[in-house]
Structures are given as structure tokens and as C-alpha cells.
Amino acid sequence: MTEPLLQVLGLSKSFGGLAAVDNVSLEVSAGALHAVIGPNGAGKTTLINLLSGDLPASAGSILYRGVEIAHLTPEKRSRLGVGRSYQKVNIFPGFSAFENCRLAAQSREPRPFNWLRDATKYDAIMENARRALSAVGLAHRADAFASILSHGEQRQLEIAMSLATDPTLLLLDEPLAGMGTEESLQMIELTGELAETHAILMVEHDMDAVFRLARVLTVMVNGKTLASGAPEAIRANREVQSAYLGSADGIE
């Protein structure tokens, strides 16, 4: 077993007196999709924001490839290979779907301050953008404005933008949120494919999807980790059943 790609140790975030994320530790390895589940307000999205750098951590450490990244800005973490998607669609609505991806791919251009060469003449960037868009099945919508895409397509575009930056670790914040059945199935299939080539940490409410995709599960309640382990072990865990799964969201 190689050392995990991402190691989170005692990560905490408080907003005033509220501990949104409280002493959370977990590990993500390449090729093993790690899902974080838990009731609303458990601190799952805050955890993703801490890992991506959108929020600064109050305490704890985040080791990526064994290097501390907790103090780094979001753009630096992105450049190290940490890509993320947002729970609330976060794209460039006024640009075409392709331009959304092209802009993401362009962030890897080593000479960013070129002032005169047309942006569409960078073959490697254009190719990466095209590949990312095809990977999520949006190639036929390349020229459409992102704002007129359906909700499901916008979610796919979210993922495509992350892919265009060629990430090693993907942080997916509820990729299935607000999706119809058909779209959900597509997204589950896509996530499964991505898991073969990327390390993925995913926050998700859809239990079917979680138990189909995840190799490791972490359950969060009130900012704390309640349990962590293989899906079967979590399913059998009494504490988890009473705290979370036994309620309205219960699993059979």
C-alpha cells in the first residue's frame, strides 16, 4: 500500500462559537473513491472548502503528497493538482461551454502574460479543453452559452472545468444535487470512470450513488467524524444507523 495522496489531520474550522468542522481526520488514496456523508449542516461542504482553500482552516493540517498545503491559496492548491467542483453551480455563465473549459486549461499555460497571441492559437490548451468537454459528454454543446445549459449540463460543465486543469485529486461537492434520474445515472457513470484515473473525495446525499461508487466512507455529524471505513462496515455500524441512516434517509 502506497502512502495516501491526501492526509487530513485534526482539521477544524469555527465560525464564531460554532465548530463547523471539528477535528476531522481522513485519508484519500489514488483509485479509491472516498465519500463523505452526513445530515445537513454536518460540515461536509465546509470540509471541501477547507481542502480547496476557499476557506482558511482554524487548526489542523492537510498533507497533499506528504506536503503541508493548509496555508496555501486556492490557486496554488489548484496548480498542485487539486481540482474541485461546487455544490452551487459556479461557472462563467456569459461564456460558451468551451470557453469555460478553455479558460480552465489556460491556467496551466506557463507564460500567462502573453499579450498579443490569440488565445485560440494555443493548440495544447485547445486540445485539453476539448478533451475535458468530451469526457463529460458535452462536446455537442461546446458553442452554447453556459447560462442556457440545463442544470445537469451545468453540473457536467463544472466537472469538465476541473478536468481541464488536469487534476490528480478531485473534490466533488454533491455532484448529483438537483439532477433528474437520467442525468444522475450519467453522472454516477462519469464519476465511476473518473475514479479509475483520479483520487476523488466526494460529498453526496444520494445513498444509492454513494454505496455504488465509494470504497471508503466517512460519516460526519455536527462537524465531527462519527465513523470511517468500508461501506459494509458503515452500513452495519449501530452508531451510524441511529445518528443518521436510521432516520428518514435510512437505507434498506
Chain positions contacting other proteins, by CB under 8 A? 52, 54, 73-75, 78-79, 83-84, 86, 90-95, 99, 102-104, 106-109, 112-120, 122, 161-162, 164-165
By beta-carbon proximity to other proteins, the closer residue of 3 and 109 is 109
Distance in Å, CB of 251 to other proteins, minimum: 33
Distance in Å, CB of 47 to other proteins, minimum: 15
Which residue, among 143, 112, 114, 148, has the nearest Cα to 130 in the 3D structure? 143
Neighbours of 105 (CB within 10 A): 24
Distance in Å, CB of 69 to other proteins, minimum: 14
Distance in Å, CB of 248 to other proteins, minimum: 33
By beta-carbon proximity to other proteins, the closer residue of 1 and 116 is 116
By CB atoms closer than 10 A (0-12, 13-18, 19+), residue 98 is: buried
By beta-carbon proximity to other proteins, the closer residue of 115 and 182 is 115
By beta-carbon proximity to other proteins, the closer residue of 149 and 219 is 149
Beta-carbon contacts of residue 188 (< 8 Å; ≥ 6 apart): 176, 209, 212, 213
By beta-carbon proximity to other proteins, the closer residue of 103 and 207 is 103
Distance in Å, CB of 39 to other proteins, minimum: 26
By beta-carbon proximity to other proteins, the closer residue of 104 and 221 is 104
Distance in Å, CB of 98 to other proteins, minimum: 12
